[in-house]
Amino acid sequence: MKKRYVLCGVLVVLFLVILISILLGRSLFIDNTIMNIMVGMRHDGLTKVVKILTILGDKKFILVLVVAISAALWFSKHKADAYMMCLNLFNIVVLNKGIKYLVRRERPLDMLIEKDGFSFPSGHSMLSLGVYGFLMFLIYKSNLSKKYKTILMTILTITIILVGLTRMYLGVHYPSDVIGGYLITGAYLIVFITIINAKVYKKLK
């Protein structure tokens, strides 16, 4: 339990370092370095693939996915999981919108697709880690074999990473937007899962 809280604290501190730097208008080394690498990787064929992959973190896709999974959980008599899946999505959206309107960071100028709204933190990154990460938790506590758990959780982990990379490649987010999104969502998930384990799942045992 202590390790979990320590990890959560580290994630929050790192997020605050990025947040404060942005609020102070300081240039972040990771932004310039990683953005230069991403720009150098661009070509038409890869861009087409990236535009498809980035949909995995799109809010409409995530909403449909959560509704579908929640419905499946509900009808398979896992109602608590269905409720928590929906609550988790709601929390992530509120957290993302709240931070965006607090910081009001403008998006990068060199975007390959049109995107409005504020830049920090990345909504795609937060939604992918928040939803796929919570799905990993449900898989972990399920009755699936260790082999299938490993396969599914590996696929979800790769998906989370890919979504973040696509946002940087397309130039719609600075690397610090993506990393900041992962950091605060990771901290949130630790708190959320700890609370529901104690308040919800413990009572169902």
147-200 pLDDT, tens digit each: 999 999 999 999 999 999 999 999 999 999 999 999 999 999 999 999 998 877
Q: pTM for this one?
A: 0.93
Q: Is the separation of the CB atoms in 135 and 156 below 8 Å? A: yes
* Paired tokens of 194: 């700890």
* Paired tokens of 195: 């609370």
Task: Find all residues with CB under 8 Å of 84, minimum gap 6, and list them.
Answer: 134, 196, 200
